């Protein structure tokens, strides 16, 4: 049996060990799904074909060239409170999550409300690999090779109305397999302004490291908004709703003075319990300065022109 080991291989190598291992896992799992289908089991052939589209992938010019965080760290050190509040809880508990069948309903202020099956999402737009910096409000960060397509491609399908100003994301909450602790007001909800949702950096994500999303990382479909703190990137999405009014969000409802609606990465605005001036990249011991908008200021600063980012945190 092959075992993932740290430290990571140098970024100069063409095929990192983590990606190689990820592809082996994908081929193994795809084989199991095919076998189940042959005996009347879990999956159909179309579902397997959709999964296979995660490779090969188009490389995105929006990717950072920084060294990627190891696959092991990305998939074992997670915030996913529906499966526990400790960083190691999701990988231990999220295996109970059933990700097929799965649909995402897009509704609200749209001309063509629609329900998308996960296999439709897989084929909606060309899948890209986007290597993004990700920053947690607690002060740690990663560099993750996500697989997905711009959220704007999905929103284009439903034709947002002129009255739509915001996008709300509602995630799965199934108390049979998820935590019943009253940590937050379940289901988990998040939101963006419509212009943020339509920005080319905002990714509807179906995989990482060249394979389908592991359950603990938000399978089967999640949001990734790299210039905001990680909790804005909602996992296991079941409903996307366009609204005129700013939607309530889970962490903002739980602690309004700590978690603002915008939650842009900003080294000048501290969390009441943590400084945001520095961060620790997982796999490193030293701290590094936090970059404004997580290093994406050139692309997104214009979205907030004229806004007081201390008041609109």
Length of the chain: 313
CA distance 283 to 170: 32
Q: Is the pLDDT of residue 130 over 50?
A: yes
Residue spans of the domains in the chain: they are: 56-304
Asked whether the predicted pLDDT for residue 46 surpasses 60, the reply is no
Q: Give me the percent of the chain exceeding a pLDDT of 90.
A: 79
Helix (H, G, I), strand (E, B) or coil at 43: coil
Bridge pairing between strands 140-150 and 128-135: antiparallel
DSSP, collapsed to helix, strand or coil, labels residue 45 as helix
Q: Which of 47-56, 155-164, 287-296 has the lowest mean pLDDT?
A: 47-56
Per-residue pLDDT tens digits for 236-270: 999 999 999 999 999 999 999 999 999 999 999 99
Q: Is the dihedral of CA 57, 63, 68, 69 positive or negative?
A: negative
Report yes or no on whether pTM surpasses 0.95: no
CATH superfamily of 56-304: Oxidoreductase, molybdopterin-binding domain (3.90.420.10)
Mean pLDDT value of segment 294-302? 98
C-alpha dist (Å) from residue 228 to 115, 192, 206: 27, 10, 19
Q: Is the pLDDT of residue 25 over 80?
A: no
Q: What was the pLDDT predicted at 55?
A: 62
- Least confident range from 160-174, 177-191, 218-232: namely 177-191
pLDDT band at 228 (very low <50, low <70, confident <90, very high): very high
Asked if the model's pLDDT at residue 175 lies above 50, the reply is yes
Check whether 5 has a pLDDT greater than 70: no
Torsion of CA 254, 76, 142, 252, to 10 degrees: -10
Q: From CA 174, how far away is CA 57, in angstroms rounded?
A: 32
């Amino acid at each position: 049996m092959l075992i993932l080991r740290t430290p990571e291989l140098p970024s100069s190598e063409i095929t990192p060990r983590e990606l190689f291992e990820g592809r082996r896992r994908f081929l193994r799992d795809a084989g199991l799904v095919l076998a189940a289908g042959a005996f009347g089991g879990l999956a159909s052939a179309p579902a397997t074909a959709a999964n296979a589209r995660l490779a090969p992938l188009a490389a995105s010019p929006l990717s950072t060239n920084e060294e990627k965080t190891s696959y092991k760290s990305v998939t074992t050190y997670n915030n996913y409170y529906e499966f526990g509040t400790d960083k190691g809880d999701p990988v231990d508990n999220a295996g109970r999550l059933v990700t097929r069948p799965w649909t995402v309903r897009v509704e609200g202020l749209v001309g063509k409300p629609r329900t998308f099956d996960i296999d439709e999402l897989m084929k909606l737009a060309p899948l890209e690999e986007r290597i993004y910096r990700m920053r947690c409000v607690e002060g740690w960060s990663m560099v993750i090779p996500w697989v997905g397509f711009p959220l704007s491609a999905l929103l284009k399908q439903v034709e947002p109305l002129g009255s739509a100003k915001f996008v709300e994301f509602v995630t799965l909450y199934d108390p049979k397999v998820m935590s019943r602790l009253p940590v937050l007001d379940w289901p988990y909800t998040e939101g963006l302004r419509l212009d943020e949702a339509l920005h080319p950096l905002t990714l509807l994500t179906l995989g990482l490291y060249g394979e389908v999303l592991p359950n603990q990382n938000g399978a089967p479909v999640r949001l990734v908004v790299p210039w905001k703190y990680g909790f804005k990137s909602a996992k296991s999405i079941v409903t996307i709703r366009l609204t005129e009014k700013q939607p309530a969000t889970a962490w903002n409802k739980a602690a309004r003075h700590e978690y603002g609606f915008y939650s842009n990465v900003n080294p000048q605005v501290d969390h009441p319990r943590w400084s945001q001036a520095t961060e620790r990249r997982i796999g490193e011991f030293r701290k590094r300065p936090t970059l404004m908008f997580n290093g994406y200021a050139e692309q997104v600063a214009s979205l907030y022109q004229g806004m007081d980012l201390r008041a609109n945190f």
